[in-house]
Structure 1
């Protein structure tokens, strides 16, 4: 059974990026020797799903940010890549996720962006949420959970506070009983 985990950072007021997609505000958290659990999480996943705008942000980094992992980029645009580890997906999330699962991927990282997160949320396809709340108020931008979002009951697995003020919470979706 495939497990989808949303692992993402958000401002205190619930934004994952500036209106222009900028994530420069995350850089003030760069601390020597601290990765906020990222390495362990990254080693636990098999594949990545992300939207096309998030993919394009990743292309702007010095190196591809998701090495040695298969990346499935959801898009309706005719994008191309020379990377063998990148596949473009135009299906809706349910059949696409079924196809990813059929390929043997079990632990999926839902990277973002906002529209893709909302699509997964609308279909109750997010099993776990690891949200790093950044101590900054952006006042606007791309919302983590844009309305209309369905009600989703969660149970806390754990939380951790870091010296930078970042608070990371890990939730699991409660099954309806």
Structure 2
């Protein structure tokens, strides 16, 4: 059975990026020697799902941010990549996830963005949530959970506070309210 985990950072007011997609505000977290559990999490996943805008943000980094993992990019556009580990998906999230599972991937990281997260939420396809709340108020931007958002009951697995002020909360979906 495939497990989908939303592992993401959000501002205190619930934004994952500026309106233009910018994530420069996350640089306040750059503390030498601190990865906020990212390395352990990354090793635990088999594949990544992300939206095309998030994919394009990743292309702007000095290095591809998801090495050694198959990345499934959801898009309606005709995008191309010379990377063998990037697959473009235009199917529904339910059908695509079934296809990803059929390929043997069991632990999936749902990277973002907001519209893709919402699609997974609409079908109750997110099993766990690891949300890193950043002590910043952006005031506007791309919402973590854009409406309409269905109700979900979550159980807290654990939480951890870091010296940077980041608060990371790990939840498991228990069902509908």
> Does TM, normalized by the shorter one, top 0.5?
yes
Deviation above 2 Å: which 4+ runs of structure 1? none
Aligned to 1:46: 46
Deviations 1:53-89 (CA, angstroms, capped at 9, x unpaired): 0000000000000000000000000000000000000
Compute the TM-score of the two structures, normalised by the length of structure 2. 0.99
**Match in the other structure for 2:129:** 129
The residue number in structure 2 matching 1:167 is 167
Provide TM-score, normalisation by structure 1: 0.99
Q: Deviations over 1:40-59 (max 9, x none)?
A: 00000000000000000000
Give the C-alpha shift of residue 175 in structure 1: 3.4
The number of residues matched between the two structures is: 177
Task: Specify the alignment match of 1:66 in structure 2.
Answer: 66
- Deviations 1:132-168 (CA, angstroms, capped at 9, x unpaired): 0000000000000011100000000000000000000
For 1:144, the equivalent position in structure 2 comes to 144
Aligned-residue CA RMSD (Å):
0.9
* Deviation, structure 1 residue 36: 0.1
Q: CA deviation at 1:176?
A: 5.3
Distance 1:58 1:151 in 2: 30
